Amino acid sequence: FFFFFLAWETCSAEACIHTEDGGPYCDDEELNEAEVNGNWTPQEKALHEARLKAKAKRRLRKSSSRNSTSDSFSESGEVAGSDPHSPKGKVNANDRKSRTGKGRGLPKKGGAGGKGVWGAAGMVYEDEEPDVRDPNYDESAQGDTVYATVVPELDEKELEKTVNPIVQEYFEHGDTKEVQMLLKELNLGPHKYEFSSLAVSLSLEGKASHRELTSRLLSDLSGKVLSQADMARAFDKMLKELPDLILDTPEAPQMLGQFVARAIADHVLPMTFLDRYKGKVDCDHARAALDRAAVLLSMKREIVRLDNVWGVGGGLRPVKHLIKEMNLLLKEYLVSGDISEAEHCLRDLEVPHFHHELVYEAIVMVLESKGDTAIDMMVKLLKAFWKTGLITVDQMNRGFQRVYDELPEINLDVPHAHSIMETFVDLCYQESVITKQLRDACPSRGRKRFVSEGDGGVIKN
């Protein structure tokens, strides 16, 4: 037995070939011949089965992998051991797993590689060197990072949407400092000059008081937020856009000319602004605007600045000036009898809270006049204002009540003031201008004297 085992071991050693990984590899034919001869012992048979299992494992490891696609191809070019028609047999080009058959099927670089990846979890970045081209680079500090709030630059459409509410609110409060503060918070960029053109365009569609406020705003912003060059560029743009502005505002050329004259007088525009356009204007509307500005600047006034080019709007006017304007309005009406013109003038004053003064002045003018013409015309005027709603109930009652309170003093200059007042009040009540309660509140001059006891209540003149 000893000699037989030694011969078998020698034969096995010669037939056994070492593989690349150092494991023994036996030829199948020799093993099969030995198996056929039936000369194996149980130990030899167990050793042979173990070698076959190891060999099968090595082949399986090379041919396929559970987590990756095999890179062994058949002669036809197809992947070995896969069905080309099945979705599992296709190679996914976007698969981040290794296709070489190595590794454990995990993402590359531990998930820290590829587009849009922040890096592996727990990764700490080192301090980077400061970039010289960085706008916050400080050569003296070298490395100190300055954090600042970046305001995005507004384009033309966003500028119009942002500026319009600011200007509309300014027309309500009239505070130029607030507008200046809001503009400093915006990044207007190269479109900064367009704020002036937008403000002027909005005021052209508004009232005279809005145009006065706009002129004051341009004067206060000049040199602080907007330069003379920005203002000149804005007015140049508006002169070119006059044909479009006329569609909404027919009087745009005259108004723009007044804006130019006021801006030059307030040193918002350079004095040479008009000289640049001499002999170079082809548009009739622009020529009319520039001619209007030249005429206003050539007029000799006591005040150097054209402060009254728009008048003084609304409640900004002094009370004496408003009273004077209303007296002129009533006198012109008594001469012309044009109710529509009187209504237009009263609306231009923009003082609805002061309309009681018009009622008071109209009644006093009736008491001081001679004849019945003034009474009839004033009744028609107050009736027209009452129907259009230009004079409200409170303003009408307040105007009449003021005359009632001052009637004793007025009677000193006008002896028949009481009787004229009673006649006027009765006519107003008949035309539904005043209420019955206000008519009954009219003071009488002592005891009323009647013609006789059976006269039916007729008052003796």
Model pLDDT for residues 230-285, shown as the tens digit of each residue: 999 999 999 999 999 998 888 899 999 999 998 998 889 988 898 888 878 888 99
- 249 contacts 204 by C-beta, under 8 angstroms: yes
CA distance 411 to 433: 24
> Is there a common fold for 156-298 and 315-440?
yes
Q: Which residue has the higher pLDDT, 447 or 196?
A: 196
Domain ranges across the chain: 2-57, 156-298, 315-440
CA distance 43 to 63: 31
How many CB atoms within 10 Å of residue 20?
7
Mean residue pLDDT of the chain comes to: 77
Q: Residue 166: name the closest of 209, 124, 196, 125 by CA.
A: 196
Q: Which pLDDT value is given to residue 317?
A: 64
* Host H or E run for residue 441: none
Note the CATH architecture for domain 315-440. Answer: Alpha Horseshoe (1.25)
Query: How many CA atoms lie within 13 Å of 259's alpha carbon, on the beta-carbon side?
Result: 32
In total, the chain counts a number of residues equal to: 461
Cα 332 off chain centre by: 46
* Angle, vertex CA 290, rays to CA 288 and CA 291, nearest 5: 65
Burial (0-12, 13-18, 19+ Cβ within 10 Å), 15? middle
Q: Which amino acid is at 35?
A: E
Helix (H) or strand (E) holding 418: helix 417-430
pLDDT score, position 123: 73
Average pLDDT over residues 447-456: 50
- pLDDT: which is higher, 263 or 88: 263
DSSP state of 49: H
Give the dihedral of Cα atoms 430, 433, 435, 438; nearest 10 deg.
-100
Q: Does 441 have pLDDT greater than 80?
A: yes
310-334 pLDDT, tens digit per residue, is 765 555 567 888 888 899 999 999 9
Q: Which pLDDT score, from 0 to 100, does residue 110 have?
A: 67
Map tokens 């454990």 to a residue: 104
Neighbours of 351 (CB within 10 A): 20
Cα–Cα distances (Å) from 50 to 24, 44, 47, 331, in that order, read 11, 10, 5, 130
pLDDT digits (tens, 9 = 90+) for 142-154: 555 667 777 788 8
pLDDT at 5: 45
Q: Which CATH architecture has domain 156-298?
A: Alpha Horseshoe (1.25)
Q: Over the stretch 7-36, which tens digit does the pLDDT of each residue have?
A: 444 444 444 444 444 444 444 544 554 454
The reported pLDDT for the residue numbered 94 is 62
Q: Which helix (H) or strand (E) holds 411?
A: helix 393-413
